[in-house]
Amino acid sequence: MNAQSVVDFAVFDLIADALTTQGYCILPQLLPPALTHDLYRRVARLDEHNDLERAGIGREQKHQLNENIRSDETRWLDSENNVDQAYLNHMSDFRLAMNQRLFLGLFDYEAHYAHYPSGAFYKRHVDAFKGQSSRILTTVMYLNPFWQTQDGGQLQIYDLNDDSLITSVEPEMGTFVVFLSEQFPHEVLPAKRDRYSIAGWFRVHDPLQAPMI
């Protein structure tokens, strides 16, 4: 085992412990800074080229409704792209590490880039409803150099039982958040400058979607 994998193992232990005891974990840095930087450049370029789309665009009425709930723009990661694939590889290691430690049976991972233009928000919601979703763990990786508190855009995480605010996360470059998808209502406060991230979900196999081989 090389020095890097010893570090990774220690970090995975720490994350697994935090998920067990409190259901969430916030790390100021998970990935190598060079990769974080490449991800930032990639999403900034997608934005520059208008390659991100208003989240959840559906039929007109649904879209209207959606606009009151969230106003971010997204794009799914593409395994054909080297930078996206590098991120997905890290998440694959993460998935296996959590399965080994917590027996979660995580089966796959889906992730999209998100851009919150100035003024954009995502109202309070949960990512998965008990017994209705295959999403088990939510992850968010932030890609915003030099974020200041006055820039807004904090992720607010609430207690499911008493609605109290558990923690407020600054979307600073490299910060990684993971939490149990069913357990934590959360919201993104209006951002006052461009806010970039990768939101992702580890899922268990959904028996309704395809037969397990």
Binding footprint of ligand AKG on the chain (CB under 6 A): 114, 122, 127, 140, 155, 186, 188, 197, 199
Least CB distance from residue 97 to ligand AKG, whole Å? Answer: 22
72 counts as binding Fe ion under rule CB under 5 A:
no
What is the rounded distance in angstroms from the CA atom of residue 160 to the CA atom of residue 69?
19
**CB nearer ligand AKG, residue 88 or residue 198:** 198
- Nearest approach, Cβ of residue 64 and ligand AKG (Å): 19
Residue indicated by tokens 């390659």: 51
73, 84, 127, 151: residue in contact with Fe ion (rule CB under 5 A): 127
Q: At a CB cut-off of 8 Å and minimum separation 6, what does 111 contact?
A: 76, 77, 87, 88, 91, 139, 198, 199, 200, 201
Stretches 27-35, 44-52, 57-65, 125-133: which one binds Fe ion (CB under 5 A)? Answer: 125-133
Task: Give backbone dihedrals phi and psi of 166, rounded to 5 degrees, phi first.
Answer: -85, -50
| CB nearer ligand AKG, residue 7 or residue 62 | 62
**Whole-angstrom Cα distance, residue 208 to residue 213?**
13
Of residues 38 and 176, the one with the C-beta less far from Fe ion:
176
Nearer to ligand AKG among residue 101 and residue 117 (C-beta): 117
Give bridge partners of residue 168 from the DSSP assignment.
156
Biggest CA-to-CA distance, the chain: 55
Closest distance between ligand AKG and the C-beta of residue 125, in Å? 7
Are 181 and 127 within 8 A, CB to CB?
Answer: yes
Q: What are phi and psi of 11, to 5 degrees?
A: -65, -45
Site residues for Fe ion per CB under 5 A: 127
